[in-house]
């Protein structure tokens, strides 16, 4: 049996069964792979009068709401934007895989996307000043997604404190210190500026006669990823930087540290300091040292043989143990 209800929100046929009025909704049943039906009861019908239920009133409310809703047609696009994503997508994956993005988030919170965006810009547009970021940011997708004006970038750098940097170094160091050797080296950066306090005259590795600052860097020997860096005054020699390194390494709580250094860091004091702190290390030495020259004189005639050749390194190799005079005092008792 069917009845007709003259209401605009009832567009389908209303059927009656056992005194109940319902609307039949046909649909395709994906599981059964056949047509099916769903009943929606809208009230009761006793043969004379129709008594609506909650579903009937709901359909009425939905119909009235549709009449009051704003009817808008297609809206034209206000912005036409084209952005490059290839290089920044690659840097996204690198930052994610190396843990840089995660560690920055732990240390800098909401500032991390801005720091990453500026880093991306400096990598992709090497050599360009930061005030050009505005143009670059409008044509490239980057983590922050907004403009970082020159003044804002200066404020951002001011928020990067020494404490937060050391926290970041701690997180990065844990990722590398146990899996590979850490190489330590320094470089000099010359400057014409007279306002940089750490710019001093020293042994310039580039050969120019300018004040410089020294940059000490600790990085993974295989991954080539930096673990720690520190700016030093330009007049501090390589030999003296080990003292700062040992202090910072203790602060960073690097476990099972294995250091690799060139002969510029060789000194009796440095070796004693490294031994005192129980750090494993490999350090180059000058041929003029008695310790080295006396050993070379003993093996010189028999050194270049097939037995001593290392095919992996493509070098002739021999190893020895030497006595090293080292004493250590206990800090409390003073005992040797």
Domains and CATH numbers, the chain: 2-68 (no CATH), 86-160 (no CATH), 179-286 (3.30.420.10)
| pLDDT score recorded for residue 332 | 66
Report the C-alpha gap between 219 and 184 in whole angstroms.
7
| pLDDT score recorded for residue 320 | 87
Residues 74, 75, 81, 87, Cα dihedral to 10°: -60
Answer whether 3's CB lies under 8 Å from 14's CB: yes
Report the C-alpha gap between 120 and 101 in whole angstroms.
12
| pLDDT score recorded for residue 124 | 96
DSSP three-state, residue 221: coil
| pLDDT score recorded for residue 37 | 76
Q: Which residues contact 195 (CB under 8 A, 6 or more apart)?
A: none
| pLDDT score recorded for residue 178 | 65
Report the C-alpha gap between 114 and 156 in whole angstroms.
8
Low-confidence ranges of the chain (pLDDT < 50): none
Report the C-alpha gap between 100 and 239 in whole angstroms.
31
| pLDDT score recorded for residue 104 | 94
């Amino acid at each position: 049996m069917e009845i007709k209800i003259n209401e605009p929100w009832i567009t389908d046929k209303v059927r009656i069964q056992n005194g109940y009025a319902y609307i039949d909704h046909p649909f395709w049943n994906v599981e059964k792979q056949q047509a099916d039906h769903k009943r929606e009861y809208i009230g009761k019908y006793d043969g004379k009068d129709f008594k609506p239920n909650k579903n009937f009133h709901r359909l009425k409310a939905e119909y009235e709401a549709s009449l009051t809703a704003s009817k808008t047609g297609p809206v034209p696009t206000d912005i036409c934007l084209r952005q490059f994503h290839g290089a920044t997508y690659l840097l996204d994956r690198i930052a994610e895989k190396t843990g840089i993005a995660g560690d920055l988030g732990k240390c800098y919170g909401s500032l991390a996307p801005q720091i990453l965006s500026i880093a991306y810009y400096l990598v992709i547009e090497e050599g360009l000043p930061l005030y050009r970021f505005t143009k670059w940011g409008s044509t490239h997708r980057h983590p922050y997604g907004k403009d970082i004006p020159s003044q804002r970038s200066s404020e951002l750098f001011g928020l990067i404190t020494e404490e937060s940097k050391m926290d970041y170094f701690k997180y990065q160091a844990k990722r590398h210190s146990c899996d590979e050797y850490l190489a330590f080296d320094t470089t000099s950066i010359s400057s014409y500026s007279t306002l940089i306090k750490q710019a001093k005259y020293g042994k310039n590795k580039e050969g120019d006669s300018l004040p410089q600052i020294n940059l000490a860097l600790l990085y993974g020997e295989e991954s080539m990823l930096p673990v720690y860096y520190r700016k030093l005054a330009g007049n501090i020699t390589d030999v003296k930087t080990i003292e700062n390194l040992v202090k910072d390494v203790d602060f960073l709580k690097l476990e099972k540290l294995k250091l690799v250094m060139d002969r510029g860091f060789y000194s009796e004091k440095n070796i004693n300091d490294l031994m005192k702190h129980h750090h494993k290390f490999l350090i180059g030495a000058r041929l003029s040292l008695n310790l080295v020259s006396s050993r070379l004189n003993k093996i010189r005639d028999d050194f270049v043989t097939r037995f001593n050749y290392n095919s992996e390194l493509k070098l002739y190799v021999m190893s020895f143990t030497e006595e090293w005079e080292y004493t250590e005092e206990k800090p409390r008792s003073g005992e040797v």
